[in-house]
Structure formats: structure tokens, C-alpha cells
Amino acid sequence: MTDVRIELSSDTQTRPSEAMRRAMYAAEVADEQKEEDPTTNRLQEMTAELFGKEAALFLPTGTMCNTISILVHCRMGDEIICDRTAHIVNYEAGGPAAIAGASIRPINGNRGQFEAEDVRALLRPKGDRHAPQSRLAVIEQTSNGGGGSVWPLARIAAIADVAKTHGLAMHMDGARILNAVAASNQTAAAHAEFFDSLWLDLSKGLGCPVGAVLAGDRDFIQEAWRWKHRLGGAMRQSGVIAAAGVHALEHHVERLADDHANARLLASMLDGIDGITVEPVETNLVFFDVSGLGLTGTEFVERLLDEHGVRMGGHGNRIRAVTHLDVSRAQIEEAGQAIRRLTAA
């Protein structure tokens, strides 16, 4: 396999830092299922406080956060409204249908986002025996498929208004919520305010090896705990991994702005290249189209890796590059130059 010198395929590709590993080594632990693990408890308290929610729950993955939230909010046959690019639609192996028995009504939004009117137009008549019942609206903050776009709070507030009036719960897939916080002038709690449930991923831009934390009110988290147990997500001395999360919340949040600056730098280097069309960059995701180069996306990704040691990902001709704490500004410059050389040849 080609040596990957510059890893831009995902923010999941980070390795825990020395300091993070030391925090994990030193973690105080006990039985998490009994709610006695002090480090896991601390991580949950920190997350609940960050979001201004009553309680939080440590889970192995973001996917399990979404699945459990859907299980708590929906009954079998209920309907979920979200954008067609959403992670729950495309990357969770049909979990909402397979596990929760919920169906999804996707919206063809703009940059992964939709409007309150879109939700209103899709609402099912209440009590109609023929129609599934609309139960949940899901917002992905930031939107991955939408190019790392940040949902403005006013748009979310309008959707929450419709949801409240019509008895829908609001759930945030917050895999990259702290990137949205870093890119906006609002606090995490201001972002969280409109949601009955939301979570953050520790294993993306925060640089942890594993984990996600789900937050909501006490009743929601109590129900979530039951599902966590049923699905086999209850752990034992989980403080060893929760310690990475505590460390990340203390040390890796402010620096997300550096990733965003690096993403903008990469975009500006690509912008001048003939045959490449760059999408607007709002956070740490850089999407660009290579159709004009006379190469397929697959060829582009393969050549960039084989000839330059730079790894990116893509769907068709739409390429994704992701900045994170294991790539430096100098490496971003190098990656930009590698693409210039590749496209000049």
C-alpha cells in the first residue's frame, strides 16, 4: 500500500496524542453500568453542561446515538423528516428502518439544509389511519453531504416552531456540532436549545479514538439508557476511553478554528486550478468537483495518493478533503501544491 503522508480522507483518521494517551492511562475507573465510573460521569456532566441539557449519556458511536434517539422518539411505522443527504439516510445501514421500524421522508434541500415550509408541506394528517405519523425532524449540524455547511439558528428556530406545533420531536445529528459552534458566533447551548436530543462525536474533529455523547432531558436520557443496555452498549470501566473525551473537551475545542483556516487555505489553492470547481467552505470539509480535469474522481484520488502520498475521498467526481488536528498548515500547502502538479501534468 502507498504510504499516506498527508491524510485528508476524514477527521476520523486522527491518532490519540501523547497527552490524550496519558490522560487515558491515568483515568480513574469503576463500573459504568452502575453509573459509578467517575471519568465517564465527568464526561457526561461536561457534555450536558456544554449543551445546557439536564443529562447526557456516553455511547460507543455516533451511529448508536442516532439509532437510540430514533428508538426513543419514534414508534414502529412513524416517519422521520430530514435532508436526503443525511447520515441516517445513507450511512447507517438502514438502521432507522431495521432497528426502529421508522420510515424516512427525505427532503431535497440546499447544501444539506431545508426550511420550515418544507417540513410543513410534508406533515401527515394527524390521526389519519392511512398515513404514517410524522414524529421527528432530524438536522445534521454541520451537514456533511451539504459541504460542511452550518445551519443558521434562525432556520432551525423556524423548523422547531413547526415541529412543536405539530408534535414532532427535534433531533440533532451533531457529529460536527462543535465545528458549527466554532464557525458561528453562538454558544453550543444556543445551538442545542431547539433540540430534544443531540450528540457530539468524540472520534471526529475532537481527535479521540472512540466515543460519542448524547444529551437531552432526564426522561429522555433514562429511556436512552434502557436502549443502550438492550443494544449491548452498556460498558464497564469505560473511564479509560471517556478520559480521552474529557481531555478533548478541555484541549481540542478551541483549536477547531485552525482546521477551518486550513480548509479555507486548501480551497483557495484549489480555486485557481482550471477544471476544478470548489464548493463554499464553512468549516473543516472541502468539497470540489474534478469533472473538468478529464479524470474521473476515482482516478484523481488514486493518482493523488500513489504519486503524492495525499489521501482524499470522494463520491463520483465530487472529492472530499477533511482537515483535522493531525494535519498541519505546511501539509495543507503541500497537498495544494501536489494537486497543482497533478493537474498541470
Judge contact between 318 and 287, C-beta under 8 A. Answer: yes
Cell readout for 114 is 431545508
Cell readout for 315 is 463520491
Stretch that binds ligand PLP, among 23-31, 57-65, 256-264, 313-321 (CB under 6 A): 57-65
- Can residue 203 be called a binding residue for ligand PLP (CB under 6 A)? yes
Contacts of 283 (CB under 8 A, 6+ apart): 142, 148, 149, 150, 176, 179, 180, 182, 183, 259, 260, 263
Cell readout for 133 is 405519523
Stretch that binds ligand PLP, among 59-67, 93-101, 243-251, 329-337 (CB under 6 A): 59-67
Select 23 or 180, whichever has its Cβ closest to ligand PLP.
180
Judge contact between 31 and 334, C-beta under 8 A. Answer: no
Stretch that binds ligand PLP, among 22-30, 60-68, 224-232, 249-257 (CB under 6 A): 60-68
Q: Does residue 165 have a cis bond before it (omega within 30 degrees)?
A: no
- Can residue 144 be called a binding residue for ligand PLP (CB under 6 A)? yes
Binding residue (CB under 6 A) for ligand PLP from 138, 139, 150, 212: 212
Stretch that binds ligand PLP, among 55-63, 73-81, 225-233, 246-254 (CB under 6 A): 55-63
Judge contact between 181 and 188, C-beta under 8 A. Answer: yes
- Can residue 175 be called a binding residue for ligand PLP (CB under 6 A)? yes
Q: How far is CA 145 from the centre of its chain?
A: 10
Binding residue (CB under 6 A) for ligand PLP from 61, 69, 113, 331: 61
- Can residue 140 be called a binding residue for ligand PLP (CB under 6 A)? yes
Residues that bind ligand PLP (CB under 6 A): 61-63, 87, 140, 144, 173, 175, 201, 203, 212
